[in-house]
Amino acid sequence: MASFKFLALAVILCTATFNLSADAADVSYDARALTIDGQRRIIISGSIHYPRSTPEMWPSLIKKAKEGGLNAIETYVFWNAHEPLYRQYDFSGNLDLLRFLKVIQDEGLYAILRIGPYVVLNGTMGFPVWLNNIPDMTFRTQNDAFMYQMKNFTTLIVDKVKEAKLFASEGGPIILAQIENEYGNVIGSYGNDGKSYMYWCANFAETLGIGVPWIMCQESDAPLSMINTCNGWYCDQFSPNQNSPKMWTENWSGWYKNWGGKDPHRTPEDLAFAVARFFQYGGTLQNYYMYHGGTNFGRTAGGPYITTSYDYDAPSMNMPKWGHLKKLHSLIISMEKILTYGTATSKDYGGMMSSTVFEYNGTRVCFLGNANNRDAIRIDFEGKSYTTPAWSVSILPDCANVVYNTAEVNTQTSVMAKKLPVEAAPKRHYDLEWLWRSEHIEHLKTSVENSGPLKGVTYANQLLDQKLVANDTSDYLWYMTSVDVNEDDPIWGEEVTVSVQCDCHILHVFFNGKQIGSKWVTNGQYNFLFEKSAKLKLGTNTLSLLSVTVGLQNYGAYFDKAKNGILGPVKLVAPNSLEKDLTSNKWAYKVGLNGMERRLQEVDPKNKGQWHPNVPFDRMFVWYKTTFKTPKGEDSVVLDLLGLGKGTAWVNGQDIGRYWPSFEADNNGCVSFCDYRGAYTGSKCLTNCGKSSQRWYHVPRSFLNDEDNTLVLFEEFGGNPAFISVQTVTMKSAFAHAYEGNSLELSCQGRVISKVKFASFGNGTYGSLVKGSCNSPNSLSVVKKACLGKESCSIDASERTFGHIACDAPMKNLAVEVEC
């Protein structure tokens, strides 16, 4: 079991590695590791994406990462966010890349900058949408138009970072930069042009002269001037190219979630197993993707259908994952010299059991790895017998004593709760007073042929792709046309079927000013046929189609060629099978919502008189507005939007993202107990079946005023705002386990321990809160004395503390649960 004298030493050594100076550093690499000023280094990094949090949050997030044993922070650079419109750049607020990098430097950590500039599943389309609308454009291949724009943006970023002296070669924190992103997954689809483009990327990157190495992830035949790296659940078997160190740029700490999806979870045991095994087999740099997930504010969620929350089951806000990995990081860093300079000797014992011994200058460290997903395995190793649990790695820093095993979690599990603020209790929610107004759609009432010019409307005698027309300035695009019918028309009759072939996410259909139906994707197939009956009238009939996107496709070969919107055919079909094909009609296009044009989402006194009381419920296309008080304290603030359909929310004019709480996950595939053993995938260990795929929405405290705040909602599907509440996220309880000979530590993170719910020192099953056949009668009293009324407590799990008990178990353990 773990010996804390080793872990304490590990923490000291780990901390000592974080003292970065402002002096220029020589960053290079050899076949074993990244080198900094000539010394091989172990890098343990975590992804924190600056646009998914706020500048006010960055210092605490990065400090938490450092406390968790990381010595580097990794981030993408988001082209779609920084250049949303052609040559219109934005580096303000949570897009202040340089400020983010300086916060990393201030905390004494290294940075890994993945310039790309393509980002997978991150942001709408992974690129600015305007890029797609340039003539003769094809993304990510030997295409002059694309390479010109990519070169322009990448050079812009590098120049900004150089000017701020943020590369390590200038005294900054950046020790690695990335060009392109997972291109090896699609390169085959582009043939020789793909290979030419990859080599162009490498050559172009080299010309930028940043003074630190470049990496290419998931690119097995990357040019030798690039370090090729691995992305995946497990990278212990990854073999880099000649003379490149073994690096893991994306260790997926969980998985993303789609609207209608369940909550994915990757256990701390499995994640620690993957990390330890990577270092056992010669890895020297690994990065968690993600370490802090965050929020897709505004319309930044990609996909399609990726939720506003980008939680990713990331370690930063997840206990015991954070604490379990912290101990592993400290131990790995403490062995840095031996792991990077030592000679490694591995032995296979059969049954997926192995040992690896690293030796350097007479000092040795050892790993015992069991990749069997069912059984613990007992082996004789250097004259002693060791049992390694299934799917785990034991680390012996002196090759004699097991200090850490990835399957034995003895750090605290924190149970968080969302509660009404103290000032709102005992009410179930705030007494929110709502106002409303409808989303006026005046332009739907007018014939296209006779309307004359309409504000913000463009025309074409064909159906156009939504990306081309909307240019990612809104989720909403109106397609409007009209058809004249007289008594002699063969299609004249009381009813026709409106038939729309749609490459849409969501479609709302209006005929003669009245909504006749809506349809949206629920199965991941983003095309469908809409059919609904409607009554014709003599004269002019209007048809208005509202196509709604929920993030654009941003992955796969030629994803930029994916269709979006209404591309037809669009027909009126009579019962006698006669039809009018409207596909080549004159179509009017209007981007966005009328309420957005009027800036209803903003805190603007001019809009005060446009709102009404007596709020309607379950009505589509409605704007709601209310005010609420800022909750006291520093706990995170969330909106509970259960009861609403789908739409967008703004707090004090800040767009907190799309909401869709009415989209529930199905009832299949969830588990009450997650077995960490065996290879993880995003469909393993799911929870939240049959519930809203996202009910709560984060409101950063920097978005809030000191007292009163304005909440504005655009409700697209219809819902009831009466159930909405503002809540805070607090620690409800905590529990932990420790084997005999170790210390059990608990903390209420700023609150006090108010109650001991469970305590047992004995032979209970490790990991459970159930007493075994024997346990110390002093368990509860000892824990109460040590913990009650305190913010944190530490208890020695031993008979010295709890008294002698006669148990047959080879190793007793302590289990404690407390309320905060």
At 726, list the tokens: 């503002």
Q: Which of 570, 590, 600, 615 is nearest to 466 (CA)?
A: 590
Please, is 276 exposed, middle or buried when counting C-beta atoms within 10 Å of its C-beta (0-12, 13-18, 19+)?
buried
Annotated active-site residue in 74, 83, 180, 182: 182
pTM of the model: 0.95
Asked if 248 contacts 235 with a C-beta cutoff of 8 angstroms, the reply is yes
| H, E, C per residue of 667-731 | CCCECCCCCCCCCCCCCCCEECCCCECCCEEEECHHHCCCCEEEEEEEECCCCCHHHCEEEEEEE
Helix residue spans in 122-231 (DSSP H)? 144-163, 191-207
The half-sphere exposure of 726 on its side-chain side, counting CA atoms within 13 A, is 27
Q: How many Å is the Cα radius of gyration of the chain?
A: 29
Tell me: do 247 and 108 sit in the same domain. Answer: yes
Tell me: do 46 and 176 sit in the same domain. Answer: yes
Tell me: do 690 and 776 sit in the same domain. Answer: no
CA distance 110 to 100: 12
For tokens 């004995």, name the residue: 762
Q: Is residue 203 part of a domain?
A: yes
pLDDT for 422? 66
Q: What is the CATH classification number for the domain harbouring 604?
A: 2.60.120
Tell me: do 647 and 719 sit in the same domain. Answer: yes
Q: What is the CATH classification number for the domain harbouring 214?
A: 3.20.20.80
Q: Which of 405, 349, 353, 408 is nearest to 375 (CA)?
A: 353
Which of 674, 708, 723 is the C-terminal boundary of a domain? 723
Looking at the structure of the chain, the number of domains it has is 5
Which of 285, 306, 341 is the C-terminal boundary of a domain? 341
CA distance 89 to 83: 5
CA distance 554 to 303: 6
Q: Nearest 5°: CA angle at 293, between 289 and 299?
A: 120
Tell me: do 218 and 180 sit in the same domain. Answer: yes
Q: Is residue 135 part of a domain?
A: yes
Tell me: do 181 and 292 sit in the same domain. Answer: yes
DSSP for 346-410, please give it.
EEEEETTEEEEEEEETTEEEEEEEE--SS--EEEEETTEEEEE-TTEEEEETTSSS--EETT---
Give the orientation angle of helix 321-334 with respect to helix 268-280, to 10 degrees. 10
CA distance 769 to 188: 52
* 250 in catalytic set: yes
CA distance 169 to 434: 56
DSSP 610: G
Q: Is residue 419 part of a domain?
A: no
Tell me: do 710 and 601 sit in the same domain. Answer: yes
Read off φ and ψ for residue 607, nearest 5 degrees: -90, 0
Could you tell me where the beta strands, DSSP code E, fall in 397-513? 404-405, 413-419, 435-438, 457-460, 476-485, 495-502, 506-511
pLDDT for 605? 67
Tell me: do 525 and 615 sit in the same domain. Answer: no
Helix residue spans in 442-521 (DSSP H)? 466-470
Q: What is the CATH classification number for the domain harbouring 800?
A: 2.60.120.740
Strand 528-535 and strand 495-502: the pairing is antiparallel
Tell me: do 227 and 326 sit in the same domain. Answer: yes
Asked if 779 contacts 807 with a C-beta cutoff of 8 angstroms, the reply is no
* 182 in catalytic set: yes
The half-sphere exposure of 802 on its side-chain side, counting CA atoms within 13 A, is 27
Q: Is residue 416 part of a domain?
A: no
Q: Is residue 66 part of a domain?
A: yes
Mean pLDDT in order along the chain per 10 residues (820 residues): 42 43 90 99 99 98 99 98 97 99 99 95 82 96 98 99 99 99 97 98 99 98 97 98 97 97 98 99 99 98 94 96 98 99 98 99 98 98 97 99 96 94 60 91 54 76 97 96 92 90 97 95 92 94 96 94 96 91 96 93 78 95 97 96 98 98 97 96 97 99 97 98 95 94 93 97 90 94 98 96 86 94
Tell me: do 320 and 354 sit in the same domain. Answer: no
Q: Which domain holds residue 738?
A: 730-819
Q: Which of 744, 758, 759, 741 is nearest to 811 (CA)?
A: 741
Q: What is the CATH classification number for the domain harbouring 577?
A: 2.60.120.260
Q: Is residue 690 part of a domain?
A: yes
pLDDT for 10? 45
Q: Is residue 426 part of a domain?
A: no
**H or E element in which residue 15 lies:** helix 4-16
Read off φ and ψ for residue 406, nearest 5 degrees: -65, -25
Tell me: do 122 and 253 sit in the same domain. Answer: yes
Asked if 416 contacts 511 with a C-beta cutoff of 8 angstroms, the reply is no
Which of 723, 745, 771 is the C-terminal boundary of a domain? 723
Helix, strand, or coil here: 627? Answer: strand
Tell me: do 290 and 382 sit in the same domain. Answer: no
CA distance 178 to 120: 13
Cβ count near 417 (within 10 Å): 12
Please state whether the peptide bond connecting residue 59 to the residue before it is cis, i.e. omega within 30 degrees of 0: no
Annotated active-site residue in 250, 269, 336, 715: 250
Q: Is residue 668 part of a domain?
A: yes
CA distance 368 to 83: 49
- Burial letters for 361-398: b for 16+ Cβ neighbours within 10 Å, e otherwise? eeebbbbbbbbbeeeebebebeeeebebbbbbbbbbbe
